[in-house]
């Protein structure tokens, strides 16, 4: 079952198409990475899903409800904005206790969520927290009312590698009991923890697929070759129609291939005709980064 499904969702600002006919499916129980460069339309999508802005056109069904017709679904969502704000004077526990009161949530839940994000014994004021700690507190806050769906807008972007790892581990630990939709422009985040990824650019969805299948589909399209004279090989390969591009990496050539069977037939021929010695030949598993740049270019 899809926890989120959008139908030709659009948001136009004057002449700007911030979001253009978005059709997105997010299955329940997964970690969904919403990937796109700056200005792609990630936050706009999230604002529409959360009823913080009205679509110019189209609609979405979230947990069975049409977002244009009902707002009940919002109580089952936990949301972390891209730049969360806290009351710096409080401790994490004091802050969440106030929110629990406002939300009508049992106070016991405060300790539970602080435990989940590893801030249970933290006595310092929020103002002294590192960015990573603040992000963890933000996630604790989204969990207070035990929502089914978490929507996190770029939860890792302002963090150093250690802080990012903590947040990614935390998101991963929540998988299963929650569906997590998070936006990011950091490719490796998606690769590390997502089951599914959508890539968006200029308001348009370019791809929405399981990470595993995506990698399979793009597999065997990257080849690394090392020969005794790479300049000759480069010269012979550079204008072949089945080669998308060639990069030099250490002593090897890194080839992005359009037609794998042509490459398999022709490369050995070129090596032999030019009297080159083959040192290494390998099909490479593509990274999300390779795929991302190919898809958005």
Binding site partner of 36, from Mg ion, ligand ATP, none, Cβ cut-off 5-8 A by kind: ligand ATP
Nearer to ligand ATP, 96 or 168 (CB): 168
Residue nearest to Mg ion (CB): 43
Backbone angle region of 19, left / alpha / beta, with phi > 0 → left and psi within -120 to 50 → alpha: beta
Q: In the set 43, 156, 252, 256, which binds ligand ATP (CB under 6 A)?
A: 43
As measured in angstroms, the least distance from the Cβ of 16 to ligand ATP is 5
The answer to the question of residue 16 lying near ligand ATP (CB under 6 A) is yes
Listing DSSP states for 109-147 in one string gives HHHHHHHHTT-TT--SBGGG--HHHHHHHHHHHHHTT--
What are the residues binding Mg ion (CB under 5 A)?
Answer: 42-43
Q: In the set 33, 36, 138, 286, which binds ligand ATP (CB under 6 A)?
A: 36
The span from the CA of 33 to the CA of 211, in Å, is 9
Nearer to ligand ATP, 45 or 252 (CB): 45
Q: Which of 179, 208, 206 is nearest to 296 (CA)?
A: 206
Q: Which residue, chain included where needed, has tokens 């004091």?
A: 94
The answer to the question of residue 6 lying near ligand ATP (CB under 6 A) is no
The answer to the question of residue 156 lying near ligand ATP (CB under 6 A) is no
The answer to the question of residue 55 lying near ligand ATP (CB under 6 A) is no
Q: In the set 8, 13, 25, 216, which binds ligand ATP (CB under 6 A)?
A: 13
The span from the first CA to the last CA of the chain, in angstroms, equals 32
User: CA-based Rg of the chain, rounded to a whole angstrom?
Assistant: 24
> How far does Cα 260 stand from its chain's mean position?
29
Nearer to ligand ATP, 42 or 109 (CB): 42
The two structure tokens encoding residue 160: 């150093």
Q: Which of 116, 111, 80, 81 is nearest to 96 (CA)?
A: 111
The span from the CA of 194 to the CA of 83, in Å, is 22
Binding site partner of 40, from Mg ion, ligand ATP, none, Cβ cut-off 5-8 A by kind: ligand ATP
Q: In the set 109, 134, 164, 185, which binds ligand ATP (CB under 6 A)?
A: 185
The answer to the question of residue 216 lying near ligand ATP (CB under 6 A) is no
Q: Let me know: does 2 contact 26? Beta carbons within 8 Å.
A: yes
The span from the CA of 227 to the CA of 88, in Å, is 60
The answer to the question of residue 15 lying near ligand ATP (CB under 6 A) is no
Q: In the set 22, 26, 30, 40, which binds ligand ATP (CB under 6 A)?
A: 40
Q: In the set 2, 5, 21, 39, which binds ligand ATP (CB under 6 A)?
A: 39
Nearer to ligand ATP, 122 or 153 (CB): 153
For the chain, how many helices (H) and strands (E)? 10, 15
Nearer to ligand ATP, 45 or 256 (CB): 45
Q: Would you tell me which residues interact with ligand ATP (CB under 6 A)? A: 13, 16, 18, 36, 38-44, 185
């Amino acid at each position: 079952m899809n926890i989120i499904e959008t139908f030709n969702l659009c948001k136009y600002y004057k002449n700007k198409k911030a979001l253009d006919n978005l059709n997105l499916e997010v299955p329940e129980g997964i970690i969904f990475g919403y990937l796109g460069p700056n200005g792609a339309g990630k936050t706009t999508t999230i604002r529409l899903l959360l009823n913080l802005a009205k679509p110019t056109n189209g609609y979405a069904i979230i947990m069975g409800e049409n977002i244009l017709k009902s707002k009940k679904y919002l109580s089952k969502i936990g949301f972390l904005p891209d730049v969360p704000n806290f009351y710096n004077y409080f401790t994490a526990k004091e802050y969440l206790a106030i929110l629990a009161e406002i939300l009508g949530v049992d106070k016991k839940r405060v300790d539970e969520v602080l435990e989940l994000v590893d801030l249970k014994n933290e006595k310092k004021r929020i103002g002294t927290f590192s960015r990573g700690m603040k992000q963890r507190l933000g996630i604790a806050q989204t969990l207070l009312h035990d929502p089914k769906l978490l929507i996190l807008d770029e939860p890792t972007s302002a963090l150093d590698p250690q802080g990012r790892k903590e947040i990614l581990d935390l998101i991963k630990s929540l998988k299963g009991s929650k569906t997590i939709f998070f936006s990011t422009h950091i490719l490796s985040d998606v690769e590390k923890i997502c089951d599914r990824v959508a890539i968006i650019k200029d308001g348009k969805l370019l791809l929405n697929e399981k990470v595993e299948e995506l990698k399979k589909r793009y597999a065997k399209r990257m080849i690394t070759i090392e020969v005794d004279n790479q300049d000759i090989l480069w010269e012979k390969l550079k204008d072949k129609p089945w080669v998308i591009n060639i990069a030099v990496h250490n002593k090897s050539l890194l080839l992005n291939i359009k037609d794998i069977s042509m490459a398999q037939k022709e490369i050995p021929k070129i090596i032999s005709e030019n009297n080159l010695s083959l040192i290494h030949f390998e099909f490479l598993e593509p990274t999300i980064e390779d795929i991302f740049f190919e898809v958005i270019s």
